[in-house]
Structure 1
Amino acid sequence: MEFPFYDEPNTAAIICRHVMRGEEPVLYVSHDEDDGMWQFLCGKTAHETGDGRLVSLKFVFDLDNSVSALRDMPCGYYAVRESQTGRWAVRKR
């Protein structure tokens, strides 16, 4: 699948260690309003500062192609879903 985001593939993104290790799916995505940073989290576990990892947006896309459904999500919005195959619910902060 071709990289679908408008941001460059090497755009920095935050991913939680649970998703990175394959322990949990991406269930929460934030496109931060203040800096445009993307965050991809499991949404189930309380996170400590040390749980975050800095990766490229392409790394996240390669890990889970289903995040491509959020390619048009503007800054200041977040999306949640119940499971890896669930539909994304996009909401404004």
Structure 2
Amino acid sequence: MKLINYFSDPTEAVLTTSFVLNKTDQITRVYHHQEDGMWEFISERAVEESDYKVISMEEILNIDEGLLSLSDMEPGFFAYRKEPNVAFEIKIIEE
């Protein structure tokens, strides 16, 4: 079985927040949305639409190389961890 690497395009647009970008927050939640295949890398903080930023996959991996462990997470799933440097738990997104 060949593993799929969903992170293979470094220029792919992904969502994150200004809090992650300015390193106020660590990434603790990752969503790979089913409907559009978009990736979302956020923290526990409640965010407004204006807090979201679009950056490249390469930029988000430069912020947290530990995200590479999620490169084969299929659309329709999300991953979470309680703190950085801890393994992610992966679950299906309940609609």
**TM-score strictly above 0.5:** yes
1:19–1:6 CA distance, 2 compared to 1 (3 A) = closer
Query: Which protein has the larger Cα radius of gyration, Structure 1 or Structure 2?
Result: 2
Q: TM-score, normalised by structure 1?
A: 0.91
Shift of 1:6: 4.0
CA deviations 1:39-88 (Å, max 9, x no partner) are: 0001x211100000000011000111000000000000000000001110
SS in 2 for 1:90: strand
Gaps (5+ residues) in structure 1? none
Give 1:1-93 correspondences, 5 Å limit: 5-42=6-43, 44-93=44-93
Q: Percent identity?
A: 24
Q: Could you tell me which amino acid in structure 2 is paired with residue 11 of structure 1?
A: E
Give me the whole-angstrom Cα distance separating, in 2, the residues matched to 1:39 and 1:13: 6
4+ aligned runs moved over 4 Å, structure 1: none
